[in-house]
Amino acid sequence: MAGAAMILMGCAEVSAERTIPVADFSIERFETGDRVTFADGAGSYGLWGLKDGTTDAATLAALTTRFAGIPMRCLAHHRADASGDTVREYWCNLPDDAPLSRLVHEAGAAVEACDESLNSFGTC
């Protein structure tokens, strides 16, 4: 995550927030952890910090229900999807002291994420 830290140094702190409903997710594995991406039609939302081995089928099912009340550092940026449309993504770093069990809640809620301009950071 050294690269992420270097990106953080050049960005202003902002505090805008918004609530994003969860509709679907996918998962990718990286050396630093797993990226769980949720999509709701407005974009996708990546959460960093889940460790390898924690994302079994039951956990992934629970991850589609709710994330709430978790402090995160989020980067919003734009990219073009396969059809050429612009998609806004939120890349969030979970705190190291947040075990996965704290992230799983009852169904019917939402993901908290920063609604920031390109390359701006905030606390969600």
How far apart (Å, rounded) are the C-alpha atoms in residues 30 and 3?
A: 14
Q: How confident is the model at residue 75 (pLDDT cuts 50, 70, 90)?
A: very low
Output the average pLDDT for the chain.
Answer: 42
Q: Is the pLDDT of residue 103 over 60?
A: no
Structure tokens at 40: 């709701």
pLDDT at 83: 74
Q: Please answer whether residues 22 and 40 qualify as being in contact, where contact means their C-beta atoms are separated by less than 8 angstroms.
A: yes
Q: Is the pLDDT of residue 100 over 60?
A: no
CB burial readout 1-30, b (16+ within 10 A) else e = eeeeeeeeeeeeeeeeeeebebeebeeeee
Query: Where does residue 76 rank: exposed (0-12), middle (13-18), buried (19+ CB within 10 A)?
Result: buried
Write the CA distances from 36 to 5, 11, 19, 29, integer angstroms.
Answer: 20, 24, 17, 9
Q: Is the pLDDT of residue 87 over 60?
A: no
pTM: 0.24
Residue pLDDT, tens place only, 38-57: 554 444 444 443 444 444 44
How far apart (Å, rounded) are the C-alpha atoms in residues 113 and 74?
A: 7
Residue pLDDT, tens place only, 6-31: 232 222 333 333 333 444 455 555 55
Over residues 107-124, the mean pLDDT reads: 32
